[in-house]
A and B are shown apart, each in its own frame.
Chain A
């Protein structure tokens, strides 16, 4: 009997541990273009204690540990690049607490965004969370770890900015708490204790987040989305600037795509509006569509495509089926909004050069402080040539992000390399020291954010 396998079975039980080819195969893949790498073991954990025992075992056996949430980053961030123990965290899916008045939820790391949405709708209809555009199986913790953004990004910013506190298992097995909970005062704030931002953005290379407190927000009775369209991409930064000035939108997204062909080249701006009454909705609509965007309509630069009085959950996975190919990946970036026109034009060029229908999207974060701009490349999973094509386009786009003065969002290994090459030497050295201090044996998700 393999002693590591047996030790894992002792930790989580036989049904939740595997070293069989079927599980090793499935967990070797990211859903994007990343090359598969097989883990040696897969384990589905239920408790923080399980995770403590696993990292202690991994240190003893000097074997990597790769934590996996929803597995939807598409950037290969949870591919076990150097094998080891793949830790599926989705069974840790308890919603521990929702504090209605202080508007936060304490969740285990496997809680999916769909689960939280449903729970709030059912038990706390006055509350909502900033729901990412990812499929509902994406986990709340996973999204915060990659500095994701949701449909309340315009007023409230990145989802990682909404974290009130964390419970983390360190690579050496100790459990730490951050935020007010660290002094036993509950999970209501991440401030004002000394900053311990050691875990968000690190792809699990510095520890495994087991619990999170995430801020919730008022859920208005009416939520809907209006769409505005212009032909000239140069107008988009100005439009977003004006829209954010109103402080009346929940979400602002600009996008353009090659499919359907009649809309190719047009720039669509969707604006989510929420209200508690028809009166409030009417007022907001008037301010946004008439007072703010009316001038573009009057000048013949743009058109209002109407308002849909409901919020459909985005079905981003449909992108994978554009060419009946089952795959897509995108490069995300955090970018100044004034770069939108260049992002669109150059991204379109890359897509067309690779024969891929272009799709570009920019989501406004904060009051126009920046945007998450994404270039999406579909591929056919059954055709290795198209996967390679998409991979090349993705790498070119990673380069483009830096050329345009942006930062690659949730970079894969190629993007991480580009960023580390440009990183301030002092910061690089600090990262190296932090990693060495927290993870002396280098067991945590090796291959990611490796400074040395």
Chain B
């Protein structure tokens, strides 16, 4: 691979490394780029990654495992895209993803990335779990298999296999059933949405997943999909079009927001708590949806919503994006983004940190434990808050 053949050869030298990309929108600190926050070395800053990528493609430095880890530590959270004042900013994350693509093609990726991709290819999920187990989370809940209901409830890999995320996936199903939503799931027929596969740079596998999923959805006559995860929402909304997408896709908070506004959910029990909300990157910065989750929370009697200092466009990523939920290149330290984020949440005085993403849920839940905050801060998905408010 040479720089000349790189898709962004005409762009990548334009990063000045001014460092805006490290900040949130209100300039509070330089820790809003998750890998930089974790390691605090320039090599892990957004500009560092771009300069290293260029140096690698220019043969100024060799590929090493460390170089690959630096590139794969990016959570593709798009803080840099928001903050960079230069005109090429929209392509910053694309450049990192493309560089990862070069590594994938050359077979030079960290072992954890290799395992992730192998598992998705073999089992349809990055956990390496049997596809037959994919629907087990719903057993005993009364959730139906999809058979031409109004909505497909697409749960995704985390909601299907991670024990903590499963709880929230079930909670959402309960809320939707209570609200009389007509929906079904694919169970063992569901496959990875491919969002992280795309971010990890494995375009061939992503094309296969997106193509197969789209065919499945079209064959089943699915018109509307509710995703549990913002990651799946992002992939389906923004990348499935070219594979013949015939369906509308909603993140579940958008559905709940509509139900709340229409008075179709009875939250009269209320939920009396001080809460703060963590914006998921793939709902917020990637898809500009900041209000739906807040509207849902604000519709619940008794909730006092306190914003974190860094919120909406300025939210700090939990560290789980871009495959890092599994490959975990940012964990293991009090500087890990998830641990920083729960400290920021705690600073608000909130008792509950509310999320709208299964990956954030798991990441931040574990961070609360690592910080020894279990008695002080509880992490809940919005769906779980709704279960309480609806007395389900």
Contacts and interface: CB of A to CB of B under 8 A. Distances in A.
15 contacts: A16-B40, A22-B43, A22-B52, A22-B66, A22-B67, A25-B52, A44-B40, A44-B41, A88-B41, A93-B30, A122-B26, A137-B19, A320-B16, A325-B14, A328-B16
Interface stretch (B55-63, B107-115, B170-178, B235-243): B55-63
B66 A20 contact: yes
Contact of A21 (B14, B62, B85): B62
Contacts of A31: 16-18
A317 interface: yes
What 5 A-B pairs are tightest by C-beta distance, nearest first?
Answer: A137-B19, A317-B18, A114-B27, A118-B27, A326-B14
A135 interface: yes
Given A25-B55, A90-B40, 17 more contacts: A18-B43, A21-B64, A22-B52, A22-B66, A22-B67, A23-B41, A25-B52, A25-B61, A26-B48, A26-B51, A90-B30, A118-B28, A122-B28, A122-B309, A136-B23, A317-B85, A382-B13
Contacts of B23: 114, 136-137
B27 A72 contact: no
Contacts of B15: 326
A29 interface: yes
Contacts of B309: 122
A115 interface: yes
Interface of B: 10, 13-20, 22-23, 26-30, 39-43, 48, 51-52, 55, 60-62, 64, 66-67, 70, 85-88, 309, 333
B372 to A, nearest CB: 21
A318 interface: yes
Contacts of A327: 16
A117 B30 CA distance: 13
Interface in A4-28: 15-16, 18, 20-23, 25-27
B interface majority secondary structure: loop
Nearest to A382: B13
A325 B18 contact: no
A115 B333 contact: no
Contacts of A317: 16, 18, 20, 85-86
Given A22-B43, A25-B52, A325 B19 contact: no
A148 to B, nearest CB: 16
A315 B83 CA distance: 11
Contacts of B29: 93, 115, 118
Interface of A: 15-16, 18, 20-23, 25-27, 29, 31, 42, 44, 70-72, 88, 90-91, 93, 112, 114-115, 117-119, 121-122, 135-137, 315-318, 320-321, 324-328, 380-382
Contacts of A18: 41, 43
A380 B61 CA distance: 21
Nearest to A115: B29
Given A26-B43, A26-B51, A320-B86, A21 B27 contact: no
A22 B87 CA distance: 27
A124 to B, nearest CB: 14
B60 A25 contact: yes
B19 A380 contact: no
A321 B10 CA distance: 13
Given A93-B30, A137-B30, A72 B19 contact: yes
A72 B17 CA distance: 9
Nearest to A380: B13
A317 B88 CA distance: 13
Contacts of A382: 13
Given A21-B61, A317-B85, A135 B42 contact: no
A122 B27 CA distance: 11
B20 A137 contact: yes
B30 A27 contact: no
B42 A26 contact: yes
B87 A321 contact: yes
Contacts of B87: 321
A27 B18 CA distance: 14
B14 A71 contact: no
Q: Which of B16, B42, B309 has the most CB of A within 10 A?
A: B16
Nearest to A136: B27
A93 B40 CA distance: 11
Q: Which of A29, A117, A118 has the most CB of B within 10 A?
A: A118
A381 to B, nearest CB: 4
B274 to A, nearest CB: 20
A326 B17 CA distance: 9
Contacts of A115: 27-30
B30 A326 contact: no
A112 B21 CA distance: 13
B333 to A, nearest CB: 7
A137 B42 CA distance: 12
Contacts of A112: 19, 30
A315 B19 CA distance: 11
Contacts of B18: 31, 72, 135, 137, 316-317, 320
B309 to A, nearest CB: 7
Contacts of A135: 18-20
Q: Which of A20, A26, A71 has the most CB of B within 10 A?
A: A26
Contact of B13 (A25, A42, A381): A381
A325 to B, nearest CB: 7
Contact of B85 (A121, A318, A326): A318
Nearest to B38: A15
A42 B55 contact: no
A422 to B, nearest CB: 33
A418 B165 CA distance: 66
B69 to A, nearest CB: 9
A57 to B, nearest CB: 20
Contacts of A380: 13
Contacts of B30: 90, 93, 112, 114-115, 137
B248 to A, nearest CB: 38
Nearest to A135: B18
B95 to A, nearest CB: 13
B85 A22 contact: no
